[in-house]
Amino acid sequence: MFSLPALSALLAATLSLELVAVNAHGPNGHHHAHRGLHKRQSDVVAAAAASSASTSGATTATVIVTASSAAATSVASTTSAAAAGAVSGTTSGVAPAGSAASTTSGAAAPAASSADIGTGVYDIPPLASITMGMPSGPLPSLTTTYTPGASPTYLSGAPPLPTKFVFSSADWPELDKIPPTDSDQVKEWMKELDGHDIPDITPTQDGSCAGDPAAAAQAQERGWWTCGGWTSGNDIVSCPDKMTWGVSFDDGPAPYSEKLLKYLDEKDLSATFFVVGSRVVSYPDILIAEYMAGHEIAVHTWSHHPLTAMSNEQIVAELGWTRHAIQQVLGVTPTTMRAPFGDIDNRVRAISNAMGLRPIIWTTGPGGPFDTNDWHVPAGTVTGEQQFEIFQNLLGNATIMDTGFIVLEHDLFEITVDLAVGYTLNAALTHNPPFKLESIGQCLSMPAGDLYVETNTNTSISSGQHSSSAAADGSADSNGSPHAFATSALASVLSVVAVLLVGLV
């Protein structure tokens, strides 16, 4: 059996491999990139989880994540040497029962010796070196672990952490696949829709405008964000206060999330993590570290497929299994969600709200969507330098907005974490005039307890009374889609800008 470090290196290599031939421009490119990505990742994660379960202690919530290297310096070499590039060394500690403890790990240096390898406390490469196929840096180790029974100090009334989560494939849907809808769990969750007005909207072909022109022509009627930026009055689309940056990360937890957590802790910043259920059961200890550090946890579906292309039952399964996974690991159930790719319409909204999950979308401002475009770099469509230049141009428009904004970033890849830690977040912290960086709940002045069912006192959230079918008004505001196509001659400047944008998340 492969060791966990070797599997981690193989994971890094397969993530790069999967994006080699992807055209990430436009809806289909991004959808296919993530579909393939999560498929490849699940194969490695399943083996890593089995290896970890056989070697880690049963009484502490700890993770053994060690430094390793996938020495793939180009697309070609990655293809031929994905597994051979694993070089690692490890020592790990287990926290004493009943306490949080610091754990240190020793690790071998990356196999590749190059000036492109990151240096400094966060091992961040020069911006010019952050590209698809770059050498992998060392995998970070969790520095703090938590035992079952520990409770977050910031969240009044929160239940203690459950018994240590141990993954068993018999108890869960297949990783990164749309879950089956004939299980007893899904049938029970479907009852949550009773009494709610779920619009009778035909699913889209693939969640993209180009893939379903007929649905795109009905975007306003559908309230389809993907094709026109149509939103509901219940959608959270921005922070209310000017110059406030709502920090959010999608698609984790993942091995390099710990590097991000270290940075956020040292800068005293909080973020909202929209987590994928398949990743939650694969990296439960990283999720625990995020939650216990005071970051907000929200639902991002089980398999990361476009929700508008699914049946009602499939949407319920995607949200329900992710919600269940988070509850099993943390003991709390989120009350917010984000649709993969921002692909949401009035039907998806109504189902989400009926299940007690309020939708959150990133902001679109005068310069376009506040999407860092970090995902374009591992997809190979832009370099790190190009990504950062695009985002700096967007930041310049933030100062003319009357509200704050919610920013989209990702913590699934080492590349996207390096961009956030080394460049994007620093750009916000050093910007003149300064931005105020907060998690989305913080920027909305939401009580921390309202973010989870078990601690929530706001009955309109926990009971799913925010009916999107009632709130949707069939209009698009400034929080549009990064690939929207405005057609009205009376469209605002915001819509004009949206026409020019072809990137999709």
166 assigned to some structural domain: no
Phi, psi of 50 (to 5 degrees): -65, -40
Domain at 435, CATH number: 3.20.20.370
For 168-173, what is the mean pLDDT?
A: 97
pLDDT of 361 over the 90 cut: yes
3-class state of residue 470 by DSSP:
helix
Q: What is the pLDDT of residue 459?
A: 65
Residue that wins the pLDDT comparison between 395 and 50: 395
Q: How many domains does the chain have?
A: 1
pLDDT of 51 over the 90 cut: no
Q: Where are the alpha helices (DSSP H) in 293-373?
A: 312-330, 346-354
Q: What is the pLDDT of residue 104?
A: 30
Pick the catalytic residue from 32, 38, 295, 410.
410
pLDDT band at 208 (very low <50, low <70, confident <90, very high): very high
367 assigned to some structural domain: yes
Q: What is the pLDDT of residue 120?
A: 58
CA angle 127, 132, 133 (to 5 degrees): 110
For residue 395, the one-letter residue type is L
Query: Across all residues in the chain, what is the average pLDDT?
Result: 75
pLDDT band at 164 (very low <50, low <70, confident <90, very high): very high
pLDDT of 114 over the 70 cut: no
pLDDT of 464 over the 90 cut: no
Q: What is the pLDDT of residue 226?
A: 94
Q: What's the Cα-to-Cα distance from 213 to each of 194, 217, 342, 344, rounded to whole Å?
A: 32, 6, 18, 16
Q: Is 250 a catalytic residue?
A: yes
3-class state of residue 278 by DSSP:
helix
CA angle 174, 309, 226 (to 5 degrees): 120
CA torsion through residues 119, 123, 124, 125, sign: positive
Beta carbons within 10 angstroms of residue 350's beta carbon: 29
3-class state of residue 101 by DSSP:
strand
Burial class (CB in 10 A: 0-12, 13-18, 19+), 153: exposed
For 228-236, what is the mean pLDDT?
A: 93
Q: Give the tens place of pLDDT for each residue, 382-420.
A: 999 999 998 888 888 888 899 999 999 999 999 999 999
Q: What is the pLDDT of residue 126?
A: 94
295 assigned to some structural domain: yes
Rg (CA), the chain: 21
pLDDT of 237 over the 80 cut: yes
Give the pair of three-digit tokens for residue 357. 């999950």
pLDDT of 83 over the 60 cut: no
For 454-477, what is the mean pLDDT?
A: 51
Full domain range(s) for residue 351? 234-457
Pick the catalytic residue from 123, 176, 250, 285.
250
Q: What is the pLDDT of residue 397?
A: 84
491 assigned to some structural domain: no
19 assigned to some structural domain: no
Q: Give the tens place of pLDDT for each residue, 136-159.
A: 988 998 988 999 999 999 999 999
Q: What count of Cα atoms within 13 Å lies in the side-chain half-sphere of residue 365?
A: 27
Are 291 and 325 contacting, i.e. CB atoms less than 8 angstroms apart?
A: no
pLDDT of 42 over the 80 cut: no
Q: Give the tens place of pLDDT for each residue, 264-284.
A: 999 999 999 999 999 999 999
Give the pair of three-digit tokens for residue 373. 């475009």
Q: What count of Cα atoms within 13 Å lies in the side-chain half-sphere of residue 431?
A: 24
